[in-house]
């Protein structure tokens, strides 16, 4: 059987299409109580007093606790530690983040008190009865304004609100490139704040066993082991061997469920305090003011270009908004996942990048689909388009001129990364062909004759996926290595349980990992069951994010399967009285035989049983058939893409219609084309959301103006045409599967592709750049302004 490369239907689907998903919110335990959290309405304020008497007296309320209770501990539930940051470059200053605020609240949504009651309705009623006397303090929300003189200082220990300053590249060489450049293309841009909006709001439940002192925590998380580690080592203080964290079915993450959240501390702490199971489920309104946000950069960038269109230098300065606290991986995003990608698909001899990470009175910002890489691609591909326009070179041609040639891999960029493999010219050829680019341009010219605003945009983007190896990521600041675990356990009757440290929250690992293991062992897929998301069942894993699951988690399974093959091959050699070197493991049929004698084969099931029967084995061989691997990748992988879109703008309203979207991606080897295509298309739609509609918008007082689905505009079904997708496949040499990572490429590429298309549509009006989101209103204003003789 061969499954890898085939569009196998997903084995997880039957439960979801019949309403049997096991989400945390569905969990019901005997004696369960319900928690609700009182949240700050102020961006920054001192808590002068909290009066919870009325709440405590409401019938059905079990208890009310404040931040001070958690920090100091009470009789049955000891003190909680502060929530740590898991990625800190040298000299990073980390503000103290208590699970519930003590003395000062630092963003709208910061937790102040928790109520636990007999029902969720009562708990929410009681929250409204708590009276808090706040003394409002001056707030700052803008990443750059926070670092300026005179800005309110949020924390004594963080001067100028600047948590870290990170640089990469060769400043002198870059300065020289600019002093010698024929053209300097400059751009000030804002990469706006986004709110992830996984469809399942976060939820946490916890059950304490007071006799064995064991805690079980259910949380909608992308990486249960990291949550257990942080709960045990920092926040809750329960030993890891008495702490079980379960992430059952998780309804989407997009990064937002990687991080250690306050509720993961509060809920088990309360469960221990009252000795009853407790559940908390976020309302969507709560998600908006507590889930980590994404992006939020203020950037000045410039590209040095020769007259013939050759790029000679890139210089970027970015203020990255970290929000009120440093979320688990926050400093990683605008540093090692951002500046390191500034070379894009191109040979740019000199690059210099600087990031200031600033704290503000807003929700913490962390990884959101793409995480640093869409921000890098956005600025680079906007600059490239502006260069093409200024030099009057076609947007495909200027890119072709600067591409890294396919025979120069592995390619060392000036910003630390060594690209693994690629054929970037083939990407652009293919997307040009699939899109019918030349015809698109003709169509556009005709439309312009008629006064219509039609635009064609393209992008060529790079991504760094599957970060590793561990010595590299830890030297950059990660508090943990980024390997992955995988156990292949063969049962006596020959079927297989696979335990992976990766976590699926929509990616379909139960299917793709089964395809991989079934092929490795030569078994039908039905014989392979994937288990994930439970720290008591799987070895320490580092979870799913950064498009790492197939490359690292999948590779761990390949290695474990190899160990299984090796053992049963040895066993078969012993039983068939042949030399091991003469044995053949038939991966088509799952049999082992002596070379030339396939008729006298041993089946996988026979051999599996023999390892448990354990009576006729070679000397020194242990009984049982199980293999464990902790796989550490040799390097990142580098997916890449070329996308083209055609849009039309309604002159009267400014509304953008996407007429065509064509995507060509190289995500390395593909395990399941149906699933990869789903990731690419879903990613594109999410990326377009940033370009056209989505904006986590704060007013100057730190109030979130887009705090619900009514005013945060998510992409809808009727905003899109059907898309055309194509593929170029250059296997990554950095893992045994040759895969690169498919989860984020669509998002990274789509955001700037549509931005370039819209700017192209507006080019005849003299509009050079507009910041996202490119809402109808903003475009309409630009049209009006250009018609009145103004320019942008």
Partner 1 sequence: MRVPVSITVNGVQHQQEVEPRMLLVHFLREGLGLTGTNIGCDTSQCGACTVHLDGVSVKSCTTLAVQADGSEVTTIEGLAQNGDLHAMQQAFWDNHGLQCGFCTPGMIMSAVKLVEGNPNPTDEQIRHGLEGNFCRCTGYENIVKSVKAAAGAGD
Residues that bind partner 1 in the complex, under the rule CB under 8 A: 9-10, 12-21, 23, 25-26, 28, 121, 197-201, 249-252, 254, 281, 283-285, 505-508, 674-675, 677-678, 681-686, 708-710, 714-718, 720, 722-723, 746
Distance CA 333, CA 314 (A): 19
Q: How far is the CB of 29 from partner 1 (least distance, A)?
A: 13
DSSP 52-97: -HHHHHSTTEEEEEEHHHHHH--SSS-PPPPPPPSB--TT------
* Of residues 347 and 505, the one with the C-beta less far from partner 1: 505
* Of residues 62 and 85, the one with the C-beta less far from partner 1: 62
Contact between residue 46 and residue 135 where contact means Cβ atoms under 8 Å apart: yes
* Of residues 421 and 500, the one with the C-beta less far from partner 1: 500
Q: How far is the CB of 611 from partner 1 (least distance, A)?
A: 36
Q: How far is the CB of 116 from partner 1 (least distance, A)?
A: 17
Q: How far is the CB of 459 from partner 1 (least distance, A)?
A: 17
Q: How far is the CB of 82 from partner 1 (least distance, A)?
A: 30
Residue 757 exposed, middle or buried by CB count within 10 Å (0-12, 13-18, 19+): buried
Q: How far is the CB of 24 from partner 1 (least distance, A)?
A: 11
Residue 150 exposed, middle or buried by CB count within 10 Å (0-12, 13-18, 19+): exposed
* Of residues 632 and 694, the one with the C-beta less far from partner 1: 694
Strand arrangement of the beta sheet that strand 583-586 belongs to? 583-586, 591-594, 602-603
Distance CA 643, CA 631 (A): 33
Determine the Cα angle at 34 with ends 32 and 35, to 5°.
140
* Of residues 7 and 57, the one with the C-beta less far from partner 1: 7
Question: What are residue 405's phi and psi, to 5 degrees?
Answer: -65, 155
Q: How far is the CB of 255 from partner 1 (least distance, A)?
A: 12
* Of residues 109 and 494, the one with the C-beta less far from partner 1: 109
Q: How far is the CB of 2 from partner 1 (least distance, A)?
A: 20
Contact between residue 516 and residue 558 where contact means Cβ atoms under 8 Å apart: yes
DSSP 225-262: HHHHHHIIIIIS---GGGEEEE--S----TTTTSS--T
Contact between residue 531 and residue 500 where contact means Cβ atoms under 8 Å apart: yes
Distance CA 17, CA 24 (A): 17
* Of residues 77 and 641, the one with the C-beta less far from partner 1: 641
* Of residues 96 and 119, the one with the C-beta less far from partner 1: 119
Distance CA 610, CA 492 (A): 8
If phi > 0 it is left, if psi is from -120 to 50 it is alpha, else beta; for residue 524 that is beta
Q: How far is the CB of 506 from partner 1 (least distance, A)?
A: 3
Distance CA 730, CA 637 (A): 11
Which residues lie closer than 8 Å to 395 by C-beta, 6 or more apart?
384, 385, 388, 456, 457, 458, 756, 760
Q: How far is the CB of 434 from partner 1 (least distance, A)?
A: 16
* Of residues 2 and 711, the one with the C-beta less far from partner 1: 711
* Of residues 11 and 610, the one with the C-beta less far from partner 1: 11
């Amino acid at each position: 059987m061969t499954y890898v490369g085939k569009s196998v239907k997903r084995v997880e689907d039957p439960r979801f299409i019949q309403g049997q998903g096991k989400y945390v919110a569905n969990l019901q335990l005997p004696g369960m109580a319900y928690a609700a959290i009182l949240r700050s309405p102020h961006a920054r304020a001192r808590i002068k007093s909290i009066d919870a008497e009325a709440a405590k007296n409401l019938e059905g309320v079990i208890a009310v606790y404040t931040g001070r209770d958690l920090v100091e501990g009470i009789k049955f539930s000891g003190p909680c530690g502060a929530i740590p940051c898991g990625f800190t470059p040298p000299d990073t200053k980390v503000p103290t983040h208590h699970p519930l605020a003590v003395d000062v609240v630092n963003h709208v949504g910061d937790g102040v008190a928790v109520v636990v009651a007999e029902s969720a309705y009562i708990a929410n009623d009681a929250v409204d009865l708590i009276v808090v006397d706040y003394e409002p303090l001056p707030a700052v929300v803008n990443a750059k304004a926070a670092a300026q003189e005179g800005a309110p200082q949020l924390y004594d220990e963080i001067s100028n609100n600047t948590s870290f300053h990170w640089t990469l590249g060769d400043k002198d060489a870059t300065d020289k490139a600019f002093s010698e450049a024929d053209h300097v293309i400059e751009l000030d841009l804002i990469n706006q704040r986004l709110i992830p909006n996984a469809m399942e709001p976060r939820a946490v439940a916890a059950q304490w066993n007071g006799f064995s002192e064991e805690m079980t925590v259910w949380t909608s998380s992308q990486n249960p082991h990291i949550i257990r580690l942080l709960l045990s080592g920092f926040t809750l203080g329960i030993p890891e061997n008495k702490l079980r964290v379960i992430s059952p079915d998780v309804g989407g993450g997009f990064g937002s469920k990687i991080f250690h959240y306050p509720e993961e501390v509060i809920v088990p702490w309360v469960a221990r305090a009252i000795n009853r199971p407790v559940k908390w489920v976020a309302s969507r309104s709560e998600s908006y003011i507590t889930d980590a946000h994404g992006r939020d950069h203020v950037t000045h960038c410039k590209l040095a270009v020769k007259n013939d269109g050759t790029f000679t230098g890139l210089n970027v300065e970015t203020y990255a908004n970290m929000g009120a606290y440093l979320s688990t991986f926050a400093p990683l995003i605008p540093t090692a996942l951002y500046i390191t990608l500034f070379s894009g698909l191109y040979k740019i001899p000199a690059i210099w990048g600087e990031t200031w990470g600033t704290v503000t009175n807003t929700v913490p910002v962390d990884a959101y689909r793409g995480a640093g890489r869409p921000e890098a691609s956005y600025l680079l591909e906007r600059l490239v388009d502006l260069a093409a326009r200024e030099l009057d070179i076609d947007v495909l041609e200027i890119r072709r001129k600067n591409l890294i040639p396919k025979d120069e891999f592995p390619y060392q960029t000036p910003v630390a990364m060594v690209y693994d493999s690629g054929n970037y010219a083939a990407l652009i050829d293919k997307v040009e062909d699939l899109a019918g680019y030349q015809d698109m341009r003709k169509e556009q010219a005709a439309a312009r004759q008629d006064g219509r605003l039609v635009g064609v945009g393209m992008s060529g983007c790079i991504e760094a996926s599957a970060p590793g190896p561990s010595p590299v990521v830890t030297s950059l600041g990660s508090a943990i290595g980024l390997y992955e675990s995988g156990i292949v356990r063969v049962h006596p009757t020959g079927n297989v349980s696979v335990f992976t440290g990766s976590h699926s929250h929509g990616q379909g690992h139960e299917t793709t990992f089964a395809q991989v293991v079934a092929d490795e062992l030569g078994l039908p897929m039905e014989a392979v069951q994937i288990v994930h998301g439970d720290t008591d069942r799987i070895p320490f894993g580092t979870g799913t994010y950064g498009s790492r699951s197939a490359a690292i988690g999948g590779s761990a399974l390949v290695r474990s399967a190899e160990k299984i093959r090796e053992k049963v091959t040895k066993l078969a050699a012993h039983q068939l009285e042949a030399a091991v070197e003469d044995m053949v493991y038939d991966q088509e049929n799952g049999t082992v035989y002596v070379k030339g004698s396939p008729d006298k084969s041993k089946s996988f099931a026979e051999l599996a049983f023999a390892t448990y029967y354990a009576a006729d084995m070679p000397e020194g061989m242990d009984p049982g058939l199980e293999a464990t691997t902790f796989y550490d990748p040799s390097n990142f992988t580098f997916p890449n893409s070329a996308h083209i879109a055609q849009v039309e703008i309604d002159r009267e309203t400014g509304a953008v219609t996407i007429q065509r979207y064509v995507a060509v991606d190289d995500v390395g080897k593909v395990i399941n084309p149906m699933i990869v295509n789903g990731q690419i298309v879903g990613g594109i739609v999410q990326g377009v959301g940033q370009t056209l509609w989505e904006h986590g918008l704060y007013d100057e007082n730190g109030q979130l103006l887009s705090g619900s689905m009514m005013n945060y505009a998510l992409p809808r079904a009727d905003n899109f045409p059907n898309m055309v997708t194509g593929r170029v496949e250059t296997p990554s040499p950095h893992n045994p599967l040759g895969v690169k990572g498919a989860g984020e490429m669509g998002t990274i590429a789509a955001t700037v592709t549509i931005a370039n298309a819209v700017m192209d549509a507006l080019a005849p009006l003299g509009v050079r750049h507009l910041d996202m989101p490119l809402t109808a209103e903003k475009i309409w204003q630009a049209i009006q302004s250009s018609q009145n003789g103004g320019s942008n």
